[in-house]
Amino acid sequence: MRRLAAPLALLLASTACTTMEAAPPTASAPQPERMISPILTSPEAVDASTYAEPQVARVTHVALDFDLDFAARRASGTATLDVLAASGANEIVLDSNGLEIARITDSAGRELAYEIGNMVEEGGKGAPLTIQLDGATTLRIEYRAPADASALQWLSPEQTAGKVHPFLFSQGQAILNRTWIPTQDSPGIRQTWEARITAPKPLDVVMSGVRQGEPEDLGNGRRAFTFVMDKPVPPYLIALAAGDIDFRAIGPRTGVWAEPSVIARAHAEVADTEEMVVAAEKLYGEYRWGRYDMIVLPPAFPYGGMENPVMTFLTPTFIAGNRSNNGLVAHELAHSWSGNLVTNAVWGDSWLNEGVTTYFENRIVEAVYGKKRAEQEAALMYANILDTLAEVGGDAPGTALSTDGGYELGSAIAYDKGAFFLRTVERIVGRTRFDAWLRQWFDNHAFQPATSEMFHKDMMVNLVQGEAEAEALMLREWIFEPGLPANVAKPDPTAFAEVDRAVTAYTSAGTIPAAYSGWTAAEQMRFLDNLPKELTADQLAALDATLGLSGTGNNEIRFLWLEMALENRYDPAVPQVDAFLSEVGRAKFVRPLFQVLWNEGEWGRPIATRIYAKTRDSYHAVTRAGVDRVMDGE
């Protein structure tokens, strides 16, 4: 792999978006040289979610050393930071959200003055932590994460499959890691890292870095685990999980961790992962992270998946017994290029991570499961875009790919419109040229941040040929304008021909399709998605009995069924909703179900209130915040 090194000035500030050329190691470097990535300073690359001023002083390496205390639900220890400062810089600004700092010293043990500034309560930005450098290039911060650190979810044994041991996982994206790691928490400021974590036996610890050797038995009922990530990553990708977990290999560089009672089902579900990595490499170049492992977490995990390097985190709710939801695995794997290798410099450009990944995911699905499945999944995405645009208006400003905020419109814009943008470009220039272009984009921006403007410029310089093609592509309209451009490469209209006929037959004559049980999961979802909005209790009972909806093993389908049942105030589904919401914390399922209950006024609100009273404490901070907003009527 190419090492990145560059003169200090360039590392502190690079407006150029070229790859750094290798430079001779500096004479003063004491430790083995670490890879350092440049930062961007162009106006659109300035991250409003961080307090850091990386052009003045930036963190290049983080070394964590701490203990997990499951009884107190606390992580405490030290973070030692390497700092690269411009000449004359006296201080460095880090991000902190509630960190309890005991003291900060330099490498000689000298105390350094620091100050925690005003806290921004809205949105989790937290407060600036300003440290006087006084010539120091290494800072040792002794601290404790707050008891309510929103990046950390401490699970009781009852929230695990095994019911005996507690569990802990972290979730960094987007700006949660500042609640447990004192660093510059911005996607545009990459850092290498290492960690030593101690945990009580028999728990195992995994991280988004490579585990070093065997755990060390400390003789006091605890073990120490060490990890290294020698490639610079944005700090939202530092992640940790600890619990009673086992590992099972899939291929030479792939494997899965899960609780002992889940590992067999988890392993069977993700058995295609090695093949997916091979397919991904064939598309867009070498997998650069060494191992690709996954951990299947307890159902409280608030997302479907999270692309933590070398250790994707997954919800157990994707396990269907037939691999029908493992577009999810393809998605998190694809982030090893789009997101983890080339990263959006600011969260308003999330589509650079999620849209490019959703396109790439579909290409992996096509390579591993064939064109039919890929086209059906693309057609579901397209329907999602159209539904969202119909809901919010085709020219609503939030429907541009490049936004100045986060992405509030679910997955329709950053994910699906982003994917359809690349699909459209691919159709216009042809797959061969498009794939070569995307591969060079990853290669030339590896381990670096990027912006929408850079992406656009790179396409203009390295892909587009001639004015007619430039006009046909409508690149700026796709990236910077709301709505869906006219040249969109629509999905194959015949992708769901049979299902769409069955929907018509049901709508006009009430015919429940006998073929349903033989359909693909995407076909079943398409059918349920397109049923009439209003259904009577008798119709719901008949659909449930004939299609086996209550008994489905696929949680995506269960979710659609429960949603449609609640929208029609179908009492027999309430116990199932109660059970589902009591076990599952995945925000994508939980928040909409509470929303439907809330919408159903005098029927639904008492049910929502009763269920939430017992489930709220078991949800992750992200899920809880989402449901709180629903229950506040926002």
CA distance 452 to 500: 37
Q: Which amino acid is at 497?
A: A
Q: Quick one: 82 or 354, whose CB is closer to ligand BES?
A: 354
| Virtual torsion, Cα 560, 566, 568, 573, nearest 10 deg | 90
Q: Quick one: 245 or 314, whose CB is closer to ligand BES?
A: 314
Q: Site for ligand BES (CB under 6 A): which residue of 173, 273, 424, 524?
A: 173
Cβ 111 to ligand BES shortest distance, Å: 37
Q: Site for ligand BES (CB under 6 A): which residue of 128, 305, 316, 355?
A: 305
Q: Which stretch binds ligand BES (CB under 6 A): 196-204, 290-298, 305-313, 429-437?
A: 305-313
User: Do residues 348 and 402 lie in contact, with contact meaning Cβ atoms separated by under 8 Å?
Assistant: yes
Cβ 277 to Zn ion shortest distance, Å: 17
Cβ 350 to Zn ion shortest distance, Å: 9
Q: Which stretch binds ligand BES (CB under 6 A): 75-83, 299-307, 476-484, 516-524?
A: 299-307
Tokens encoding 122: 């809205």
Among 614, 615, 603, 612, CA closest to 632 = 612
Among 247, 197, 248, CA closest to 222 = 197
Tokens encoding 48: 């409003």
Q: How many residues bind ligand BES (CB under 6 A)?
A: 16
Helix (H, G, I), strand (E, B) or coil at 392: helix
Cβ 346 to Zn ion shortest distance, Å: 17
Which residues, in sequence order, are CB contacts of 32 under 8 Å at separation 6+? none
Q: Site for ligand BES (CB under 6 A): which residue of 58, 588, 620, 624?
A: 588
Q: Quick one: 211 or 588, whose CB is closer to ligand BES?
A: 588
User: Do residues 255 and 247 lie in contact, with contact meaning Cβ atoms separated by under 8 Å?
Assistant: yes
The neighbour count for residue 363, using CB atoms within 10 Å, is 24
Q: Site for ligand BES (CB under 6 A): which residue of 39, 75, 320, 328?
A: 328
Cβ 335 to Zn ion shortest distance, Å: 6
Q: Which residue is nearest to ligand BES (CB)?
A: 304
For residue 59, the surrounding DSSP H or E stretch is strand 57-69
Q: Quick one: 298 or 513, whose CB is closer to ligand BES?
A: 298
Helix (H, G, I), strand (E, B) or coil at 259: coil
- Binders of ligand BES in range 362-421 (CB under 6 A): 411, 415
Q: Which stretch binds Zn ion (CB under 5 A): 5-13, 70-78, 348-356, 604-612?
A: 348-356
Q: Which stretch binds ligand BES (CB under 6 A): 103-111, 182-190, 328-336, 442-450?
A: 328-336
Residue with structure tokens 């076909």? 523
Q: Quick one: 276 or 306, whose CB is closer to ligand BES?
A: 306
Tell me: does residue 332 bind ligand BES (CB under 6 A).
Answer: yes
- Binders of ligand BES in range 335-354 (CB under 6 A): 335, 354
User: Do residues 40 and 451 lie in contact, with contact meaning Cβ atoms separated by under 8 Å?
Assistant: yes
Tokens encoding 126: 């937290």
Cβ 415 to ligand BES shortest distance, Å: 6
User: Do residues 132 and 113 lie in contact, with contact meaning Cβ atoms separated by under 8 Å?
Assistant: yes
Cis peptide before 367 (omega within 30 of 0): no
Q: Which stretch binds ligand BES (CB under 6 A): 121-129, 302-310, 377-385, 510-518?
A: 302-310
Sign of CA dihedral 402, 403, 408, 409: negative
Tokens encoding 206: 């995994």
Q: Quick one: 74 or 588, whose CB is closer to Zn ion?
A: 588
Q: Quick one: 194 or 293, whose CB is closer to Zn ion?
A: 293
Q: Which stretch binds Zn ion (CB under 5 A): 219-227, 354-362, 377-385, 526-534?
A: 354-362
User: Do residues 55 and 9 lie in contact, with contact meaning Cβ atoms separated by under 8 Å?
Assistant: no
User: Do residues 260 and 162 lie in contact, with contact meaning Cβ atoms separated by under 8 Å?
Assistant: yes
Q: Which residues bind Zn ion (CB under 5 A)?
A: 354, 357
Q: Which residues bind ligand BES (CB under 6 A)?
A: 173-174, 303-307, 327-328, 331-332, 335, 354, 411, 415, 588
